Structure 1
């Protein structure tokens, strides 16, 4: 009887797991199903971001991407691993719910909790105008990713000059006032991302979108669970 109950429990657990997997829209996958060891640090799942609190729609430290983008990232990770390097992902698929949270935050000009760290030289009211935040984000299409390179032994991020989500000219690919190593690190990331079909966003060294993204006009709004 106990064995029967155990097998029933196991079967139900497997069915539940399969149902959870199937909740993603067709064409979207969990990145760690393809690259189990990849480093994840979803800033919007934490309080350490430009808003200063967990963002609506981010309910787990999980990365979701289109399968097409995932397969490209898999190739990039494999190539970097040969050099003792790897990727760390800060953000990928982003629900429209989260974008709406950013919009509400931006309208509250008195909320400048994280200004010193993330936008010290930019007026909060100009973040949309300057292109640091969008009312409709390419992330919501599932083929845009924010990431950096890490040393696999130390787990430390390579020096890119400024951190992820720093809103300022220093984050742009055209910014020249960087040390040689910082420039080389940005170029390394850009070259390998472009090699496997991604294009850079000029204002953010960490932001890349797959060229042949499958959902060019689709903005998803399911939560990250």
Structure 2
């Protein structure tokens, strides 16, 4: 019995190390522009399409190209927005539907290079509001968009529960203690996005994931190369 116990004590570190090594997975991130082009040639849906070029009437307010964001620093060298081809095709349909009601989309963020996600996680005070680099973000896959609604007549944003990138509890898409007009605007945006294949996340009324995100790789191609 003593010998068996001694062997267990001696072997435990080795067993624990082997198990940890076995459980560790390497995250695959496409950082090669050549590899990205090859993937587009194999499947045109992999293309990261520039949203403004595909939908000229859409409004951009790319906060991470300014210091007006929770990081308080410029994270993007260019104020541009990209998403995978099927994502942009659905955004185009949404914009058309909204326009008939007198509204339009304003994009805060879309495709985000993986390196920026790493920087966010390091600095964010509340990790619940930023993606963990160990898993990557739907933004890194070109399959997430941060957006709101604008009134076409006034050019102003419709009233929503919080400003963009707020860490407040009111940012939840199910938060109830709000003016009825605000709830109506928020829920209308959610319903339109859901009808076109997007799902709002549980702590950010502005963040929508495309339901086909699993079909796309994590990317770390800077805007300048696209």
TM interval, short-chain normalised: 0.7 to 0.9
Tell me the SS of whatever aligns to 1:75: helix
> Residue 138 of structure 1 aligns with which residue?
138
Q: Across the two proteins, how many residue pairs are aligned to each other?
A: 180
Please tell me whether the aligned partners of residues 138 and 213 of structure 2 are also in contact (alpha carbons under 8 angstroms): no
**Structure with higher helix content:** 2
Separation (CA, whole Å) in 2 of partners of 1:154 and 1:25: 42
Query: Pick from 45, 49, 73: which aligns with 2:65?
Result: 45
Q: Which runs of 5+ in 1 are unaligned?
A: 1-21, 107-123
Structure 1 stretches of 4+ with a deviation exceeding 6 A read 22-25
Separation (CA, whole Å) in 2 of partners of 1:90 and 1:24: 29
Tell me the SS of whatever aligns to 2:148: strand
Cα deviation, residue 196, structure 1 = 0.6
Cα deviation, residue 211, structure 1 = 0.8
For each residue in 1:48-72, what CA deviation from the matched residue of structure 2 results, as whole angstroms up to 9, or x when unmatched? 00010101xx121111000000000
Cα deviation, residue 33, structure 1 = 2.1
Shift in alpha-carbon separation, 1:98–1:25, aligned structure 2, 3 A: farther
Please tell me whether the aligned partners of residues 149 and 158 of structure 2 are also in contact (alpha carbons under 8 angstroms): yes
Cα deviation, residue 214, structure 1 = 6.0
TM-score in terms of structure 1 length: 0.76
Query: Pick from 62, 68, 82: which aligns with 2:80?
Result: 62
Separation (CA, whole Å) in 1 of partners of 2:52 and 2:157: 19
For each residue in 1:70-97, what CA deviation from the matched residue of structure 2 results, as whole angstroms up to 9, or x when unmatched? 0000000001011111000000000111
Separation (CA, whole Å) in 1 of partners of 2:104 and 2:121: 33
TM-score in terms of structure 2 length: 0.76
Cα deviation, residue 25, structure 1 = 6.5
> Residue 33 of structure 1 aligns with which residue?
53
RMSD: 1.7
Q: Which runs of 5+ in 2 are unaligned?
A: 1-35, 41-46
